[in-house]
A and B are shown apart, each in its own frame.
Chain A
Amino acid sequence: MDNQKHAISVRGLTKKFGSFTAVNGISFEVKNGELFGFLGPNGAGKTTTIKMLTTLLQKTVGSARIGGHDISTQQNEVRKGIGIVFQDPSLDDKLTGRENLDFHGMLYGMPRAERYRRIDQILDLIELRDKQDVLIENYSGGMKRRLEIGRGLLHEPEVLFLDEPTIGLDAQTRRKIWDYIRKLNKEHHITIMLTTHYIEEADYLCDRVAFVDHGKIVALNTPNALKDSIGGDVISLEFSGNADAMGKRLKTAQWVKGVTMHDSYMDLSVRNGEQRIPEVMAIAAKEGVKILSVNLHKPSLEDVFIHYTGKAIREEEAGSADRMRLAMRSRNR
């Protein structure tokens, strides 16, 4: 069996709400120790997938195993082995940070001595020890998020699920949360599956990324391989005079995957573009072409996403959803 290698394995998982199919027959595997990302716009089915994998929602069709346990028939075993940080806040506002952790530990049946030892460790890790006795209603957004991540780790799960871990946080706090997530994965060897609609988040954090759109996985690979799959880097040259000879010569070069020319511009598809620029300049000099400007464009995951789905993950749309969520949070307080 591949249980040893795979922390999560999913086969044809489907969720229907009435006639609407939220998740449509997805299959994937997450290796032990991997940081795996689900990237897609709001409403793509990311949270529904997480809810099924964490036993909060019954699947319609398909199967999935977490740490070798079936999500439908071994719910309790699955629950013991996972930690989860939900998209929406899920702390008890009227309790202190330490109490939230302590209750969590008790709900997982941790004996008192072990619980206290772990709580101290976690509070140090998330740097909230000096705030442990403050009520959650007096925490900042970033502190709450850190505490939730810490809580998800308290019972030492094998797999940690993070549903939109940095949604609604400012850029600085987001950066800090990213560093925690990285540290957990690289230093503490925790398998992590996260969902996000932030391109940079997936690019910066994930070993492998699955693009999700309309409940389906449309592409799955490492961020670099995904970028390469749409042609790699593009060097754009602006020149004066005739560059036909130079273009021909470049077309024959092994490291050039494509050349397009229009007016006084030339685009070259290459790998590792920054290393190729000096060579291109040398060829231009030999052919007597005067280069006016050079521009290197490295494809972003956004470009790749557009390539596979025909649309951008609209940051603006996400932004307004975030604002609404924040407004809800402060109103509910």
Chain B
Amino acid sequence: MDVNAIYVLWLREVKRFLRSKARIIGTIIMPVFFLLGLGFGFNSLVKIPGVGNYIQYIVPGIVGMTILFVGVFSGFQVIWDRQFGFLKEIMVTPNSRISITLGRIAGGATTAMIPSLLVLLLSLGIGFAPTVSLPLLYLIPFLILIGVCFISLGLIISSFVNDPQAFSAIVNFFTFPLLFLSGAIFPLGVFPSSVQYVGYFNPLTYGVDGVRYALTGASANPVLLDLLAIFVASVLLVALAAYATKRSES
């Protein structure tokens, strides 16, 4: 394991992200539209049993959605680096492929937290109220693990795809089903039971449920089950991402 390489790739990701204001705004625009459109739209129409009004229900979902979108799209950076040649510069250095992958995941998971916390802050302005005394205690680990899962997914996709346009299309093919089958926007219970089972294999289901517990104290599963499930998913996806990177870049 080459700690230097992990650190360099993490630092690069963070510096690039913080320097690009357009990118920060770009990453929160879609979640904010979802939040305003669905939140205001359904708040007076829908009450979720056990949670209360719809804003309380959807904000944790939108926070999870933000990380999903930012995470999967961070695979774009790999395609970009491949096109710009920077990937070769990294690959020719004496560092293991797995450290390079871990560095990217660490950087992506860190930067994906920034827009998700911004969305959470904005939601306070439209009437969302956390009901627990220490929301960050569970929130941060869940945000990190959701990030790790979906950045890994983005890296896996980027290892198969060279073309930026094809990448966008494939990513959309994944992200929207993942979003709707996670309980982020509405409870999984609204689906026929066969579709619900698909949702049980979605890491975001446990991520969003965990975030919801962290912020509102209400959740479909015990929080430790959520934590365990998304942790296992993270480990599996990181291993797959490391393998996919090694396969495509050696």
- Among A58, A92, A99, A107, the residue within 8 A (CB) of B93 is A107
Interface residues of A in 86-143 (CB under 8 A from B): 86, 88-95, 99, 103-104, 106-109
Q: Which of the listed residues B2, B11, B12, B94 has the most CB atoms from chain A within 10 Å of its own CB?
A: B94
Residues of A within 8 A of B (CB-CB), count? 28
On whether A108 and B84 interact (CB within 8 A), knowing A58-B250, A94-B16, A95-B15, the answer reads: no
On whether A79 and B93 interact (CB within 8 A), knowing A56-B88, A90-B88, A107-B5, the answer reads: yes
Asked whether any CB of chain B lies closer than 8 Å to the CB of A54, the reply is: yes
Asked whether any CB of chain B lies closer than 8 Å to the CB of A240, the reply is: no
Q: Which of the listed residues A54, A92, A104 has the most CB atoms from chain B within 10 Å of its own CB?
A: A92
Asked whether any CB of chain B lies closer than 8 Å to the CB of A172, the reply is: no
CA distance A108 to B92 in the complex (A): 10
Quick check: A106 and B7 within 8 Å, CB to CB?
Answer: yes
Quick check: B12 and A95 within 8 Å, CB to CB?
Answer: yes
Which B residue sits closest to A76, measured CB to CB?
B94
Interface residues of B in 219-250 (CB under 8 A from A): 250
A82 contact set on B, CB distance < 8 A: 92
A76 contact set on B, CB distance < 8 A: 94
A32 contact set on B, CB distance < 8 A: none
Asked whether any CB of chain B lies closer than 8 Å to the CB of A55, the reply is: yes
B92 contact set on A, CB distance < 8 A: 54-56, 79, 82, 84
Which B residue sits closest to A54, measured CB to CB?
B92
Quick check: B93 and A88 within 8 Å, CB to CB?
Answer: no
Interface string of A296-332 (1 = CB under 8 A from B): 0000000000000000000000000000000000001
Give 8 closest A-B pairs by Cβ, nearest first.
A90-B85, A79-B94, A107-B93, A90-B89, A88-B85, A106-B8, A80-B94, A76-B94
Q: List 21 A-B contacts (CB under 8 A).
A: A55-B92, A56-B92, A58-B250, A84-B92, A86-B88, A89-B84, A89-B85, A90-B84, A90-B89, A91-B86, A92-B84, A94-B20, A95-B15, A95-B16, A99-B15, A106-B7, A106-B8, A107-B4, A107-B90, A107-B93, A107-B95
Interface residue ranges, B against A (CB under 8 Å): 2, 4-5, 7-8, 11-12, 15-16, 19-20, 83-86, 88-95, 250
